[in-house]
Amino acid sequence: MQRLLIATVFISLSLTGCHQDRQQDDDSFVPPNTQEINKQLIPSQQKYIRQETDEINQYIKVHEYAMQITGTGIRYMIYEHGKGPVAKAGNYVQIVYSIKLLDGTLCYDSKTDGPREFRVDKDDVESGVHQAVQLMHVGDKALFILPSFLAHGIAGDHDKIPPGAVVIYDISLLKVQDNP
């Protein structure tokens, strides 16, 4: 939740910064008051986060999952335990996965797209996925529910994941290594 608030403030400041460059060209432009914008945005963001959290909690309750929660808000459940090494930042990992929305819509699946390989905390993968695989051992199978701000955010992925969507990753960690 704190990351979302920080992101909102950052976006507000970025937009204000962009407008200040225009001020040099147009003396009639009056930049918005950043504090006033933040005062208006923060309550709406808090309301959105509460609604999203309620939806996630309802999903977990309906499915009777015994999930844990990380400090960043990822809900997870390791339902099959492996005995291999734990994934760490900088490792190269290979996963098989499925990605669904809370309504059950299948968005992506490694059965169609193939296994995914990436470097933990380095490659262009959703931040929630980087966090998720670091909770896993090779051989683990786990279910992760990523809040929208740790998945594709307010924009979605411009394809199958809509804006502001909570996503459910079902991940099997196949491989962890130091080099590709």
Q: Assess whether 59 and 122 both reside in one domain.
A: no
- The last residue of one of the domains, among 43, 63, 83, is 63
For 35-92, how does the pLDDT look when each residue is reduced to its tens digit (9 = 90+)? 777 777 777 778 878 899 999 999 999 999 999 999 999 999 999 999 999 999 999 9
pLDDT digits (tens, 9 = 90+) for 88-132: 999 999 999 999 999 999 999 999 999 999 999 988 889 899 999
Answer whether 176's CB lies under 8 Å from 161's CB.
Answer: no
pLDDT on residue 171: 97
Q: Are residues 156 and 124 in the same domain?
A: yes
At which of 63, 78, 98 does a domain end? 63
- Whether the predicted pLDDT of 137 surpasses 90: yes
Chain mean position to CA 98? 15
- Predicted TM-score (pTM) of the model is 0.76
Strand partners, 169: 99, 144
Residue 126 belongs to domain spanning: 68-177
Task: Give residue 55's identity as a one-letter amino acid code.
Answer: E
Q: How far is CA 46 from CA 38, 41, 155, in A?
A: 12, 9, 18
User: If you ran DSSP here, which 8-state letter would residue 70 be given?
Assistant: -
Domain count, the chain: 2
Q: Same structural domain for residues 102 and 39?
A: no
pLDDT band at 14 (very low <50, low <70, confident <90, very high): very low
Per-residue confidence band for 29, with pLDDT thresholds at 50, 70 and 90: low
d(CA 151, CA 52): 13
| Residue 142: band (very low, low, confident or very high) from pLDDT cuts 50, 70, 90 | very high
Please name the residue that has the structure tokens 């809900």: 75
